[in-house]
Amino acid sequence: MVPNIQLIQVPITDTETILVMYKAAFKQLFMKYHDVNTSPYLEQKSNLVKKMRDPRSTYYYIKTSKHVVGLVRVIVSDSGQEARISPLSILPEFQGNGFGSSTLLQLEGLYSRVKIWSVDTIVQEQHLLAFYTHCGYQTTHESVYHIQPGMDLVQLVKKA
């Protein structure tokens, strides 16, 4: 069963809330990889504000009837036919309940003009690869990015 969630657009005044959520959602990965260059765990407020002001970029809270369980950002191409998810984060206490899958499905409905969805994830995190594959994404092995020793990103794509 797909959990019932709502995607609520995040106002630009909520930057502090986003930063707190990033710390909670990405702490485990940051502690494992110590990635000081690309981890949302270390996102700076000024950089976040810049992303939020980008007219192609929209942040959403992922909300159940009782809780905000996560956050997702969608960046849509100028043509409106391609979109990138960066990042999708479910708070640790809510992971494993289908909220990520529900979010991706709702985004596909909300952005019905999008024909190609993309997301990057850490190659070494097999559960993340399995999650996106289960949701219909396919790896594009030609686009593996070496971040640091023991940490690589791979792009996954889903065609609508």
pLDDT at 82 over 80: yes
Residue 135 lies in a domain: no
DSSP bridge pairs for 144: 154
Residue 143 lies in a domain: no
- Assign 3-state DSSP to the chain and report helix, strand, coil percentages, each to 5: 35, 35, 30
* 1: confidence class by pLDDT, cuts 50, 70, 90: low
Write out pLDDT tens, residues 17-53. Answer: 999 999 999 999 999 999 999 999 999 999 999 999 9
Answer yes or no: are the C-beta atoms of 62 and 71 closer than 8 Å.
yes
The C-alpha torsion from 125 through 77 and 71 to 24, rounded to 10°, is 50
* 143: confidence class by pLDDT, cuts 50, 70, 90: confident
Which CATH number belongs to the domain containing residue 61 in this structure? Answer: 3.40.630.30
Write out pLDDT tens, residues 84-123. Answer: 999 999 999 999 999 999 999 999 999 999 999 999 999 9
Residue 144 lies in a domain: no
Q: What is the largest CA-CA distance in the chain?
A: 42
pLDDT at 76 over 90: yes
Domain count, the chain: 1
Residue 77 lies in a domain: yes
Residue 133 lies in a domain: no
Residue 149 lies in a domain: no
Q: What average pLDDT score do residues 66-73 get?
A: 97
Specify the pTM. Answer: 0.95
Q: For residue 28, what pLDDT is reported? A: 97
pLDDT at 141 over 80: no
Residue 128 lies in a domain: no
Answer yes or no: are the C-beta atoms of 80 and 66 closer than 8 Å.
no
Q: Which domain holds residue 20?
A: 6-115
